[in-house]
Structure 1
Amino acid sequence: MRALIQRVERASVEVEGHEVGSCGAGYLVLLGVGPTDTEDTARRMWEKVRKLRICADENGRTNLSLVDVGGSLLVVSQFTLYADARHGNRPSFSGAAPAELADHLYEFFCEQAEKDLGPSRVGRGVFGAHMRVSLVNDGPFTVMLDSEELGL
């Protein structure tokens, strides 16, 4: 599982011209699922995201987590995080999970976030839809997490 986390002042996602999810100050998480990922992987990735200390404290140091600052979250499915462009100029996405598994684990990740933060603080995209994501990046501050690299 891969999560590209952007600290944001706000973010939103639209499908067919209608806003389907948003968040205020917090994180935009672009989430990609790999073929060997499980619910345990998703649970552990959420724990890593939840505890990640990339929010500023009163001294401007990145010492606080999303939970510490009462932040919100927007999670958007992003299979292209598994793009492989090592050969040629057209990326392959064969390293991404099949849609059924990816959809299930994306929803599971969002449910874990909702359990911890509450449903009102977790926005979602629409799995498999063509989406338009807007954000105001705070920093900018962007972090990439890969479950295999983290041993999750």
Structure 2
Amino acid sequence: MKAVIQRVTTAKVTVNDELISSIGRGLCVLVGISQNDTKEDALYLARKLLSVRLFDDETGKRWQKNVKDLQYELLCVSQFTLYNQWKGNKPDFRYAMPGAEANDLYNFLLQQIGQQYSSDKIKNGQFGAMMQVHIQNDGPVTLEIESPKKDTNN
């Protein structure tokens, strides 16, 4: 499971010009799910998203606080395109988890983040929809986290 994390001052998701979700300061998280991901990967990602220190402390010292420390929000957006491979100049998404299965695991991730933090601070897009994600990146700060690779040879 992979996440591209963007520290934001504001972010929102629209579908067909209809507002789906929005947040103030916090993190906009694009979530990709590979065909080999499990609940263990979702648990890892939930813990990591809530503990990464991407914000300044009260004195201005950088990289000291996480979203929980500051009671900021998270906007999660499913994005199967994070698990692409290139076939010439065309993207190939064969390593992304199929839709229904990915939706279940994505919802499990959201549930875990909500349980470990506060469900009212967690927003999300519309799974499987053609979304427009509007962000005001703060910094800009954009980082990637991926769950540890499992040894599939056993």
TM-score, with structure 2 as normaliser = 0.92
Aligned to 2:136: 136
Aligned to 1:70: 71
Aligned to 1:60: 61
Aligned to 2:92: 92
Q: Deviations over 1:100-145 (max 9, x none)?
A: 1210111111111222332221111011001011011000001101
1:23 aligns with 2:15: no
Aligned-CA RMSD value: 1.6
SS in 2 for 1:107: helix
Alpha-carbon distance in structure 1 between the residues aligned to 2:148 and 2:93: 17
Alpha-carbon distance in structure 1 between the residues aligned to 2:8 and 2:61: 15
Unaligned runs of 5+ in 1: none
The Cα of 1:150 is off from its aligned counterpart by 9.6
Residue type of the partner of 1:69? L
Alpha-carbon distance in structure 2 between the residues aligned to 1:95 and 1:119: 30
Aligned to 2:50: 50
CA contact (8 A) 2:11 2:133 kept: yes
Alpha-carbon distance in structure 1 between the residues aligned to 2:19 and 2:110: 18
Alpha-carbon distance in structure 1 between the residues aligned to 2:150 and 2:65: 20
CA contact (8 A) 2:50 2:117 kept: no
Identity of aligned residues (%): 37
Count of residues paired in the alignment: 150
Closer, same or farther in 2 for the Cα pair 1:150/1:49, shift >3 Å? Answer: farther
Unaligned runs of 5+ in 2: none
SS in 1 for 2:95: coil
